[in-house]
Structure 1
Amino acid sequence: MSLGQQLAPHLPFLRRYGRALTGSQSHGDKYVRATLEAIVAAPDEFPKDVDPRLGLYRMFQAIWSSANYDEMGDEGVGDTDGHAAVARARMSRMTPLSRQALLLTAMEGFTPEDAAYLIDVDANEVEELVAAALAEIEGQTRARVLIIEDEPIIAMDIETIVRDLGHDVTGVAVTRDEAVALAMEERPGLVLADIQLADDSSGIDAVKDILAEFEVPVIFITAFPERLLTGERPEPTFLITKPFQRSTVKAAISQALFFDQTTVPGA
């Protein structure tokens, strides 16, 4: 099996990580493309002594760390307007390395040992970085959250997680029309949306309707993440895979709010 064939199944999830890390589909996908270009240009430099997925993320981390790509988001990409300034404001309180450690372990499911390899630190330091990131999350601005989910058990689970994090829930919608109505009635500061809803309507369409009225960060929830991580069309920046862990939801919410301009004092 060629290296390309080995890496292909992992690309959608690398896009998820890149988008969550940068707060932008376009920005995150550019880092993924740059990673693939680096692998094609120098295949002999791809790590041979580790699992292909681990090697892929290691190459991505090298690109992310490179100063040559620090200004990748300043090329006129529409959905990154204002994100750089917001990120810098947040980074003054949470270091990029701590966010990487949290996302790699909580969202991407790497062990502390694997995460240590990826960001080139000791395993014990990964635990300290994650703890620091979680401490910063506790100090984040609280948000009012709209949940769009048609499965009652999952909706209750999400609502419990959201409230335990200190956020308020403005409502739980099970259809597109109900979601839009709730959003208009009580404007949320964050939306958590399932893709497929009870009446065969779409959570994506519900979010489009809401975004046509006002800007709000959105996290999508789906059992089929590969369908929304192709990099070939406008796709979600933040994505949670069903079944999900509490830590995954927590990390996703923290990142969505991290890049939301309305949660930065003075923004």
Structure 2
Amino acid sequence: MSVSKELYAHLPYLRRFARALVGTREGGDAHVLATLETIVADPRKLEANEDLRISLYKQFVAVWASGAIAQPDPAFADDEARRRLDAIALKPRVAFLLHALEGFDLEQVGDTLGVSERAAADFIDVANAEIARQIATEVLIIEDEPLIAHDLRSIVEELGHSVVGMARTRREAVSAMANARPGLILADIQLADGSSGLDAVNDILDAFATPVIFVTAYPERFLTGAPPEPAFLVTKPFSVDSLKAVISQALFFNRRSHRRGA
């Protein structure tokens, strides 16, 4: 496989990582584009003696850390959102996402960040500790497979959040909003009756804004650059850590996340 084709194969997942790190679809994609432009301008930045994926992510992190891409976010108007975001320093947050979302082992995390395995593990511990103190919120789950819905509920509750509704179809999801205003929605994309989780979420977001995480077995289908595309995406089958990572980032970047019962 040529370098360009191998690089292309990694792009959907780099875009997923970028969106989770930056907090928006537009901002994540802008950083990925800037990364690719940097590589095109100087192909030597992809080190020949290094795993291509690590080299690609390393270049992305360098672009992101440079602050060269302006990414205004209205959530930052909220002092609490900014405080929670800043509480996890740059390297611990990146290390946590690389490990939990992208499946990098500690050696790969260390290589990407230019630190030792021990330092990479310490960064992840710092991020985990901060996430454990994150504000709890109420969650709506839209999922048609009972076992997956149960797993989602268990993970959400283990993280200290509460589930205010479980829906299997677009209609059930919209109906669940009659008595709930969740601070987070977890939604499958293909639902039991053939309806779309994307459509269900759009119906809900017409009434009020809240962060949404989509769950799909085919993430590459929704990370092509063609709309509609979610900002936060978890791949089936998911791990506890990957879901935890994306939930934490979605709540970090949304000023409407609220204390349970508030």
- What TM-score do the two structures reach when normalised by structure 2? 0.94
SS of the aligned residue for 2:68 comes to: helix
CA deviations on 1:124-145 (whole Å, 9 max, x unpaired) are: 0111111111111111110100
2:7 aligned partner: 7
Q: One-letter code of the match for 2:71?
A: G
Q: One-letter code of the match for 2:47?
A: P
| 2:51 counterpart of 1:51 | yes
Alpha-carbon distance in 1 for matches of 2:45, 2:246: 32
The structural deviation recorded for 1:263 is 3.4
| 2:179 counterpart of 1:185 | yes
RMSD of aligned alpha carbons:
1.6
The structural deviation recorded for 1:123 is 1.0
Alpha-carbon distance in 2 for matches of 1:13, 1:90: 25
2:223 aligned partner: 229
1:123 aligned partner: 117
Pick aligned residue for 2:254 from 234, 246, 260: 260
Q: One-letter code of the match for 1:115?
A: V
CA deviations on 1:161-180 (whole Å, 9 max, x unpaired) are: 11111110001100001001
Moved more, 54-63 or 82-91: 82-91
Would you say the 8 A contact 2:168–2:192 is kept in 1?
yes
Q: One-letter code of the match for 2:253?
A: F
Aligned length: 258
Equivalent positions of 1:107-122 (< 5 A) are: 107-122=101-116
Equivalent positions of 1:138-157 (< 5 A) are: 138-157=132-151
2:71 aligned partner: 73
SS of the aligned residue for 1:28 comes to: helix
CA deviations on 1:195-242 (whole Å, 9 max, x unpaired) are: 000000000000000000000000000000001111233411110000
- What TM-score do the two structures reach when normalised by structure 1? 0.92
| 2:99 counterpart of 1:105 | yes
Provide structure 2 residue ranges, at least 5 long, that are not aligned to the other structure.
none
SS of the aligned residue for 1:236 comes to: coil
The percent of aligned pairs where both chains have the same amino acid is: 49
SS of the aligned residue for 2:135 comes to: coil
Moved more, 123-132 or 26-35: 123-132
SS of the aligned residue for 1:169 comes to: strand
Alpha-carbon distance in 2 for matches of 1:217, 1:223: 20
SS of the aligned residue for 2:139 comes to: strand
Would you say the 8 A contact 2:75–2:255 is kept in 1?
yes
Moved more, 186-195 or 58-67: 58-67
1:77 aligned partner: none
The structural deviation recorded for 1:85 is 5.9
Alpha-carbon distance in 2 for matches of 1:197, 1:232: 21
Would you say the 8 A contact 1:73–1:84 is kept in 2?
no
Alpha-carbon distance in 2 for matches of 1:195, 1:215: 19
Alpha-carbon distance in 2 for matches of 1:264, 1:34: 34
The structural deviation recorded for 1:88 is 3.5
Q: One-letter code of the match for 2:36?
A: L
2:89 aligned partner: 95
Provide structure 1 residue ranges, at least 5 long, that are not aligned to the other structure.
75-79
Alpha-carbon distance in 1 for matches of 2:15, 2:26: 10
The structural deviation recorded for 1:90 is 2.0
The structural deviation recorded for 1:247 is 0.7
